[in-house]
Amino acid sequence: MNFAIIGASGNVGRKTIEILEKSKIPFKELFLVASKKSAGKKIRFRNKDIKIENLESYDFSRAQITFFAAGSQIAKEWAPKAAKKTIVIDNSSYFRMQKEVPLVVPEVNADQLENHKNIISNPNCSTMQMVLALKPLHDEYKIKRVIVSTYQAVSGAGKAPMDELISQTKDFLDNKKINSKNFTKQIAFNLIPHIDLFDKDGYTKEELKMTNETKKILDQEIDVTATCVRVPVRTGHSESINIEFDNLYDFENIIKILKNAPGCKVIDDRKDGGYITPLEAEGDFTTYISRIRKDNSNVKAINMWVVSDNLLKGAALNTVQIAECLVKKL
C-alpha cells in the first residue's frame, strides 16, 4: 500500500504529512507531489528526506490512495485523470456537491464510502466540525433548523493570509499604513463578514457551502442558514450554533449525547475560563463543544459553541481518517 500527496508543500499538504508521520495506518511508501516551482525540494518524513516530484510528470499508478491538497483548479484538471489509476481523496470544494461523489466525515457517514467511484470529497472545514456535533443530536431528536455564525481563522485562506495577519499586526502597532493584499479590508484587530464570493442573494459561497454540504451529509430536510466571518486568529475555527428540533428535548440527555459524540469533547464548566477557545484547540485532533444551553426564546432549541483546528479535523485529519477506513476495506 502506497500513498501520495498532491500539493505536498502547502498548508494542508504539510499537515497531512505530519498526521501520516504519527499514523498507524500500514503503508509502504509516500510520494510527495507539487507544482514545478516546488519540485526538487525535500521534506523530512520518518527519518528520511523525500524529494517533491513534479505533478506534470508524476505517475498516479504508483500509489493506491492519493490525497489532493492543492485547491479546486488542480482537482478539476488532475483528479479525474488520477482516479483512473488511484483512489482520490480531495480536500477542495470542486467535487463536494457532485451527486456521484461521496462527501464524507467518517464519524458521521462512513457508510457512504461504499459508493465511491475512486473520488471521495472532504467537506468544508466549517461544515465538518459542525456536523460532528449535529449528527448524534439529529439521530436522537431530528433537527429542524440550524442557525450558525462562524468565526474563521485566516489559515483557512492559506499561508499568505496567515503571514499577512502578522505583518498587518506589526504595522498597526508601529502606526504604519496598512495595505490589505489577501483580504477585502484590514484583518488585524478587525473582523470581516465576507469569506469567498457573493452570490445574487447576498450570501457568500462559504455560507452556501455550509448549507448545502450539511444537507448532503446529514439530511436534505434540515434548514440551515449561515453567516461566515473572517477573524484575526491564526488557526482554529469557532462557531455559534442555534439548533431547533422537531419536538421537545430533554436537556440532560442533550449533554449526555454530546459528551459521547465521536471525535468531540465537551468543556462547559459555566465559570470564568470554563470553555474552549481556538488558541487552545490549535494542534488538537478533537472538536470541542462549550456554552451548551437552552434557547430561552424557543422551547425546542438549544445554543452551543463549537471549536476545532481547521487545518486538522477541518482538512488533513479527516482525509487521513477516510484513508484509514478505505485501507481496512482494501
Indicate if 161 and 242 belong to the same structural domain. yes
Give the CATH number of the domain where residue 173 resides.
Answer: 3.30.360.10
The pLDDT value given to residue 28: 94
Indicate if 305 and 248 belong to the same structural domain. yes
Nearest CA among 49, 24, 51 for reference residue 38: 51
pLDDT per residue over 155-176, tens digit each?
999 889 999 999 999 999 999 9
Would you please indicate which residues are annotated as catalytic (active-site) residues? Answer: 125, 237
Indicate if 71 and 147 belong to the same structural domain. no
Distance of alpha carbon 175 from alpha carbon 55, whole angstroms: 44
Give Cβ neighbours of residue 262 (< 8 Å, ≥ 6 apart): 107, 132, 136
Indicate if 190 and 168 belong to the same structural domain. yes
Give the CATH number of the domain where residue 25 resides.
Answer: 3.40.50.720
Q: How many domains are there within the chain?
A: 2
Indicate if 165 and 298 belong to the same structural domain. yes
Contact status, residue 105 vs residue 128, Cβ threshold 8 Å:
yes
pLDDT per residue over 274-295, tens digit each?
999 999 999 999 999 999 999 9
Indicate if 102 and 154 belong to the same structural domain. no
DSSP characters over 240-262: EEEEEESS---HHHHHHHHHT-T
Distance of alpha carbon 18 from alpha carbon 44, whole angstroms: 10
Indicate if 185 and 198 belong to the same structural domain. yes
The pLDDT value given to residue 115: 87
Indicate if 141 and 88 belong to the same structural domain. no
Indicate if 9 and 94 belong to the same structural domain. yes
The pLDDT value given to residue 329: 83
Indicate if 118 and 135 belong to the same structural domain. no
pTM to 2 decimals?
Answer: 0.94
Look up the domain containing 20 and give its range.
2-122+315-329
Distance of alpha carbon 162 from alpha carbon 158, whole angstroms: 7
Q: In what order do the strands lie in the sheet with 143-152?
A: 223-230, 143-152, 237-245, 301-308, 287-294, 264-266
Distance of alpha carbon 243 from alpha carbon 72, whole angstroms: 31
Indicate if 152 and 297 belong to the same structural domain. yes
Indicate if 88 and 170 belong to the same structural domain. no
Q: What are the 10-residue block averages of pLDDT along the chain, 330 residues in total?
A: 96 95 94 95 95 97 97 97 98 96 98 95 97 98 98 94 97 96 97 97 98 98 98 98 98 98 97 97 97 98 98 95 92
